[in-house]
Chain A
Amino acid sequence: MLKIEDISKTFHPGTVNEKKALDHLTLELMDGDFCTIVGSNGAGKSTMFNAIAGSFYCDEGYIELDGEDITYVPEHKRSRYIGRLFQDPLMGTAPGMTIEENLAVAYLRSSRFRQGIFSRVSRREKAMFREHLSLLGMGLEDRMSSPVGLLSGGQRQALTLLMATMVTPKLLMLDEHTAALDPGTAAKVLALTDQIIKERHISCLMVTHNMNQALEMGNRTIMMSDGRIVFDVSGSERENMTVGDLLEHFAAGAGRQFNNDRILLSTRQEC
């Protein structure tokens, strides 16, 4: 359903800061795939997400989503089909607006102003927002009219998740979306993510620095280095894989030692 063919992106070409962030990257995602992505900092994981989301246009290559060529479709149009969560829980929500208003803006993706740009949020929609919020189990449904800026990071990330999936996206991209949360909240948001993805059958890409998580969640794991995919595993091979195997594969694929503290540290914690 998502097809990335041979995309490349070089930042600051022709200067001393020239950086080849994506190097002829090719990736195909099947319908309903939940793919976890690992790789050290600077490997190009977020750049790939930006390329898919349309934050910039690629220098070369081709991107297709659900049979439609989106290589040169602007970002705001792609976001109709692509949901995205960032590591920073503050990024996906508007702090000065109430929970209800935030949800109303997110819900615009479905209606596309079809009910008219001057229409207001209907009572039925409000009831639907409430229902969605209660699924989070955070008591947010009783705080619909309080500003989002007053919520905690975990609550905001859960709300962002809800906003990104309320209108079911074709593709959901999670960029370390639980990294900034405390372990308890992270587990809760992660469980919620898993539940929503399974229930709605959403195709998903998830960046994580936690090796256990990378193998436990989803049905496929890819590893990136220097703007390329160096390792791709799924099916029974993946089921029998341990964190140690994954690290070894990385060293082999990248041709150098895995020297990312965050990954080495996060292999030790259970979650």
Chain B
Amino acid sequence: MGFLTAGIVRTALEVGLIYSLVALSLFMSFSILNVCDLSTDGCYTLGCAVGAVVTIAGHPLLAIPLAMGAGVCSGFVTATLQTRFGVQSILAGIIVNTGLYTINLAVMGFSSNVSIFGTDTIFSMFGSLSPSDFWHDWSSLILLFVILTLLCLIIRWFLSTRLGLSIRATGDSMAMVRASSINPAVMITAGLCLSNSLTGLAGCLIGQYNKTCDINLGTGMVTVALASLVIGETISGRRRMTLRIFCVVLGSCLYRMIISIALRLNVPTEAFKLVSAVIVCVAIAAPEARKMVGFHARKAAAVYTRRKVVRGGEKDAEN
């Protein structure tokens, strides 16, 4: 048995793909719209709770649009607070996040845990399409891969439409947007609704994947997603949009792989939050550290050459 078995890699990729939806959501709000949306944790749990309740009711497919719709509502509230009532974006996110805790409990029927064992999920439905062993093992990953590829293409297309361009411009230059007769408040609202719908979808999928929903599921999610996003943006180097979107997904998968490796190295689960934090720091610091190393190498080389020239000159003078 190798260090990383196929099963471990598969699980890491599956979870990585689901988490990448949250990373894409932050990509929309944080990178594109330049708004710090901290309601991610609560919104993720909301998606999971709504998804779980609808799935238990026997509609695993219907759970997806409903969870996304719940995300849209949450994003709308966050956006309204900051655009209409002048609440600072970070504060607006925290307020919504706090309020969502109660709402999530209410959705789950005021219990902190909901189990969806024994009912169909989209994964079990897709898995039952073929009885073969291969399909049994890989169907979930294939399904997620298809969903993510489609979503990335949709996001790419969306960002090049008139609405998408306006949203990008809002994050890039508010003055220009106002001068172009676009209402920035509407664009921020549209952007946050969209981004939170992705978070809701991620929550729904993770609920059906784990067949459970816990009220504390989302805690720390924003850090994880930010880590994935930063890793992705470091890889893509902020170049072309298509590349950036796919690299966010790649970043999320990479992050899960790192976590899997940490698991294999017997890092205790209690230390995981610290591991996440360190990964975020390393990912953010990496480009800067690389620059610093390059600079010092160049400086050392220059000093060395200069010293040689000076010494050579002195020798010439002695002769």
A-side interface residues toward B, CB under 8 Å?
74-77, 79-80, 83-84, 86, 91-97, 101-102, 104-106, 108-109, 111-113, 115-121, 163-164
Contact = CB atoms under 8 A, between A and B. Distances in A.
B163 interface: yes
Nearest first, the 9 closest Cβ-Cβ pairs linking A and B are A94-B172, A94-B173, A80-B181, A117-B163, A79-B181, A96-B172, A105-B169, A109-B181, A118-B161
Interface string B262-281: 00000000000000000000
A120 B162 contact: yes
Interface of B: 158, 160-163, 165-166, 168-169, 172-173, 175-184
B242 to A, nearest CB: 13
24 contacts: A75-B178, A76-B182, A76-B183, A77-B181, A80-B181, A91-B173, A92-B175, A94-B172, A94-B176, A95-B172, A96-B172, A97-B165, A97-B169, A97-B172, A104-B162, A105-B166, A105-B176, A105-B177, A108-B165, A117-B162, A119-B162, A120-B161, A120-B162, A163-B176
Contact of A91 (B161, B175, B184): B175
Contact of A108 (B160, B172, B181): B181
Given A80-B181, A119-B162, 13 more contacts: A75-B178, A76-B178, A92-B173, A92-B175, A94-B168, A101-B169, A104-B165, A105-B176, A105-B180, A108-B182, A117-B163, A121-B165, A164-B179
Contacts of A118: 158, 161-163
A163 B178 CA distance: 13
Contact of A94 (B158, B169, B181): B169
A46 to B, nearest CB: 14
Contacts of A95: 172-173
A23 B58 CA distance: 69
Nearest to A107: B180
Contacts of A74: 183
Nearest to A106: B180
Contacts of B182: 76, 105, 108
Contacts of B162: 104, 108, 111, 113, 115-121
Contacts of A77: 181
Contacts of B161: 117-120
A159 B166 CA distance: 18
Nearest to A92: B176
Contacts of B184: 76
Given A76-B184, A108-B162, A84 B179 contact: yes
Contacts of A119: 161-162
A142 to B, nearest CB: 18
B24 to A, nearest CB: 18
A83 B162 CA distance: 20
